[in-house]
A and B are shown apart, each in its own frame.
Chain A
């Protein structure tokens, strides 16, 4: 026992000595260090900044850097981009606080999470009025504001709408689900028509889309306008939530025409086979619409209204999210990084990004959106404008939303999917479980 203890002791001591050398330097508090880039000087060595963006956006990197350096020749930068997909950013950002990038593109619901972990820096009011100066609407900025401070710069609108086959549905047919169903029944009755089995296709198990059904009822999901961390409008047998749950159950039970409620693959199959002539998705699926309906046949509209209870039509509001630019608290060039972030979100920066990444989402810059040349190039301009007016953006801002909603909603819809014939009581139980899961603490 003693001899091998010696072996172990020896080795561990050696390692202790080895770690001595590197122990002291790493892992100390990331304290505020002297600024390295604020002072303008005639010798213009560019400051190196790091950034995380998605693959599609990183094509714009060179143009953005060139544009910034041209606009602010006194404070040039050079940019190192790491491609991180937006779904991953939140996790990776928090897993190693010392290795955060200066700037990052994050989805809207991650901003609250990051600011509550003190990982990102706030933008000062003075900077906002200097650089943004009203180009982004206050309501948009409000979605990234927490505790009266702005933590992210929203630069890209992400939402979904209805794609439909223009030669099958007329413009008025897609205004409500009822009208769509009527059109389908009428067309199916015609001679030699290939039977269309589904009104529309929607991936209802995805929290994105099922959100929209709950939000169409003005109460929303989390209480207090989506900010409550302890109460939802779902648990405890709330009537409005129950009618939404019944509607989802109805969607699973519907036949002739029914609804295509599977995932992307099922949607694709259904569209290609011609069983469905309309689907709910966003700009990222434009190619699928073109492939299914034909390049010139793609129609886009706001979601059709539906009947929740009784006979009144409830507008089906899309839910949207603004991708934001955040600056890390651990950055050693905070002011410069924030300056670059403001450039990215300015009309010029947003235009470069949209030119280079092939479009597909909508910019938040008011002046850019109003620009007719830009509108002409962007196939989604009209529908996005309509959706922005009627839709709902970032309504749920509480922390529990980003950590709990996605899995909980999927599990809830799965309960209905597994047994579409479930009784009202079972539905109520599932709804209650959903409500409890939504406010389950994310930590003890």
Chain B
């Protein structure tokens, strides 16, 4: 990679002038560095503020003492936490029910998705069988269709089995096809050294033992990453839940319930601030979860790509 143009120069410090020149070069490089660093700090700061402002905006709107869209920078009637109380206690918008529903769905989806993804990723990465490449190609092709395309047919299938509109159907819709998203996990498994497998097999373990006694304990980053991403899914999805749940309001998830609060004109005028209060309430646990597992997230995404 090193271009031949940059052949090493012969540097010999023979006399003082050279030394002085060296020192000057060192100082000018230091100031240049300092200037670059300052600009970098400014650049980062400006962009960082830009990124944080909407999040702060969400919180700011949720504590304004008005019910509709804001028309002044500072609310005329001051600030209040009433919207949070309203959401937690009112029957008209049963936020607690939505929260509970979403929690159930998210936990089930997390469990099923993680098992599916790990199973498929391990199989594609480690086990060799005739149709491996074929299945991977089919998976690739399936992934190129728009996700929403199959929604109507899925709804008909769920109706035929009789579970449409229930939380079980939502769980199935989110997790049944999760095995298709195995690429990152597979990349991770690709980098786990094969010698471990071989050593275990010499000791007489079958594939199953190798999987759950050796590989799974080693894959903590990717397991956490998969659990995190599949857990977050149901909290933020509106499209699929609106098609599956339709008017079964008792099964609404948080995203569906909140979005319906503001989807009509009257809703915008009456529930605007309450909507943002609800958003803050669901963002906080997601944020905490995310920050706590950030290192797993990073190493999970990239751990598979580089080898020492």
Report A's interface with B, CB cutoff 8 A: 1, 3-4, 19, 22-23, 26-27, 52, 55, 82-85, 87, 92, 95-96, 98-99, 264-265, 268-269, 272, 284
Which residues from chain B contact A269 at a C-beta distance below 8 Å? 71
Bound form: Cα–Cα A83–B252 in Å: 13
A95–B160 contact, CB under 8 A?
Answer: no
Contacts of B160 in A (CB 8 A): 19, 22-23, 26-27
Interface residues on B, range: 20 to 34
The closest CB in chain B to the CB of A1 belongs to: B131
B268 at the interface (CB under 8 A from A): yes
- Asked whether, in the complex, the Cβ of B246 is within 8 Å of the Cβ of A96, the reply is yes
In the complex, chain A residues whose CB is within 8 Å of the CB of B69: 264-265, 268
Query: Does B134 make an interface contact (CB < 8 A)?
Result: yes
The number of residue pairs between A and B whose CB atoms lie closer than 8 Å in the complex comes to 59
**Contact in complex: B162, A22 (CB < 8 Å):** yes
CA distance A133 to B249 in the complex (A): 38
CB-contact partner of B269 in A55, A82, A84, A264, under 8 A: A264
Q: Are B159 and A27 in contact (CB under 8 A)?
A: yes
Q: Is the CB of A3 within 8 A of B249?
A: no
A272 touches B71 (CB 8 A): yes
Inter-chain contact A92/B246, CB cutoff 8 Å: yes
Chain B contacts to A: CB under 8 angstroms? 68-69, 71, 92, 129-131, 134-135, 155, 159-162, 164-165, 246-247, 249, 260, 263-269
**Nearest Cβ on chain B to A94's Cβ, whole angstroms:** 12
Pair B264/A4 contact, Cβ less than 8 Å: no
Contacts of B159 in A (CB 8 A): 26-27, 96, 98
Report chain A residues within 8 Å CB of B246: 92, 95-96, 99
A1-B130, A1-B131 given; A85·B264 CB < 8 A: yes
C-alpha spacing A252/B62, complex, angstroms: 35
Task: State whether B131 touches A3 (Cβ < 8 A).
Answer: yes
A264 adjacent to B71 (CB under 8 Å): no
**A83 CA to B264 CA, complexed, in Å:** 13
Query: For residue A22, which residues in chain B have a CB less than 8 angstroms away from its CB?
Result: 160-162
Known: A22-B160, A284-B266. A4 touches B135 (CB 8 A): yes
Q: CB distance B268 to A264 under 8 Å?
A: yes
- How distant is the Cα of A82 from the Cα of B71 in the complex, in angstroms? 33
- A264–B267 CA distance with the chains assembled, in angstroms: 12
Q: Which residues of B contact A83 (CB under 8 A)?
A: 249
A-B contact pairs, 21 of them (CB 8 A): A1-B134, A3-B129, A4-B130, A4-B135, A22-B162, A23-B160, A52-B247, A55-B92, A82-B249, A92-B247, A95-B246, A96-B155, A96-B246, A98-B159, A99-B165, A99-B246, A264-B69, A264-B265, A264-B269, A265-B69, A269-B71
Shortest C-beta distance, A282 to chain B (Å), equals 11
A268-B68 CB under 8 A given contacts A1-B131, A83-B249, A85-B264: yes
Please state if A84 and B71 are interface contacts (CB–CB under 8 Å): no
6 closest residue pairs by CB, A with B: A4-B131, A269-B71, A265-B69, A85-B264, A82-B247, A26-B160
Shortest B246–chain A CB gap in Å is 6
